[in-house]
Amino acid sequence: MKKIILVSGDPNSINSEIIFKSFKRIRKGLRKKIILISNFNLIKEQFRNLKYNLKLNIIKNFDENIEVNKLNIIDVKLNFKDPFNVSEKERSKFIIKSLNLAHNLALKKNTIGLINCPIGKNLLNKKKIGVTEFLAKKCKIKENSESMLLFNNKFAVSPITTHVDIKDVNSQLTKIKIIKKIETINFWYKKKYGRLPKILVLGLNPHNAEFRKESKEIKTIIPAIKSLKKKKMIISGPHPADTAFIYNYKNFDVVIGMYHDQVIGPFKTIFKFDAINITLGLKYLRASPDHGTAIDLVGQNKANFKSLVECINIVNKFGK
């Protein structure tokens, strides 16, 4: 049986809580597919603190002693000074080690896909890249061929630039980047749904900079859209971002924005926890919940686990 790899993510977070709640919620047939990549003692202590009764079963590989009523875990061996307040250095080492292990396992034929629970961007390296960029580099895929898609069964959004400071967005937007990322999304929809998606593309500037000759819309975005139309894609734009999420988005499958918060902020406002973050274009399907580490909720047993359950269901449905 193929397995779903679940990386526990940031130790200083709600991750232990949403892992437990999600595991209890999913059907038994899915439970035996879940392999948790984490530290055994860390998870055990955090479960105990939350008064969660769930037995852990340590395994070394996918074929060894899988037990349906236990959470099967591959132990990432590290000694934490305090399992409830892990230092930044320890967290970074643990997360990188966990992701490297998960990546290597995800490449194997007996893996459906990879899910990571929330991770602080500052823990991967000093450039504050996200897991999307980290795994894209590990997969050695062609530049700009991966796409970040915030997705549910009704609608999706994708930013062309991901974890980039606003001041750097303009310089990082190129015609080829827009084309490649939209092609990746178009290919995935065609492969998984058997049809072409309807795609709406936003401009970068307020009111599309009134389409001035030197604007990014005229010089970069419109040429990219014209090129994609020649490839028979169903694509429209650029549309002004200030009104796109009032009515227009309902007529499309995907809205493409030029930067992270341009599309992800409105999406989360509309759909709340009914969404997951997936990375397209890797050598495997990768997903994560559409929320952060929620440090303010740690230990309170109030975290919403819906997005992680959706991750598990979507990866199980669409993974390799």
- My answer on whether 33 and 9 are in the same domain is yes
Residues 191 and 306 in one domain: no
Q: What confidence tens digit (pLDDT) does each residue in 218-249 have?
A: 999 999 999 999 999 999 999 999 999 998 89
pTM comes to: 0.90
Provide the domain count of the chain.
2
Name the E strands within 221-285. Answer: 234-239, 254-257, 276-280
Per-residue pLDDT tens digits for 129-151: 788 888 988 998 877 788 999 99
Q: Are residues 260 and 295 in the same domain?
A: no
Q: What is the pLDDT of residue 127?
A: 60
Q: Say yes or no: 188 and 303 in one domain.
A: no
Q: How far apart are CA 270 and CA 226, in angstroms?
A: 30
Sheet containing 147-151: order of strands: 56-59, 71-75, 34-38, 3-7, 111-116, 286-289, 276-280, 147-151, 156-159, 254-257, 198-202, 234-239
Please report, for the domain that includes residue 243, its CATH number.
3.40.718.10
Q: What confidence tier does 267 reach under pLDDT thresholds 50, 70, 90?
A: very high
* 231 shares a domain with 241: yes
45 and 135 share one domain: yes
Per the structure, the complete domain to which residue 28 belongs is given by: 1-141+282-320
Percent of all residues in the chain with a pLDDT value above 90, rounded to a whole number: 78
Same-domain status, 148 and 272? yes
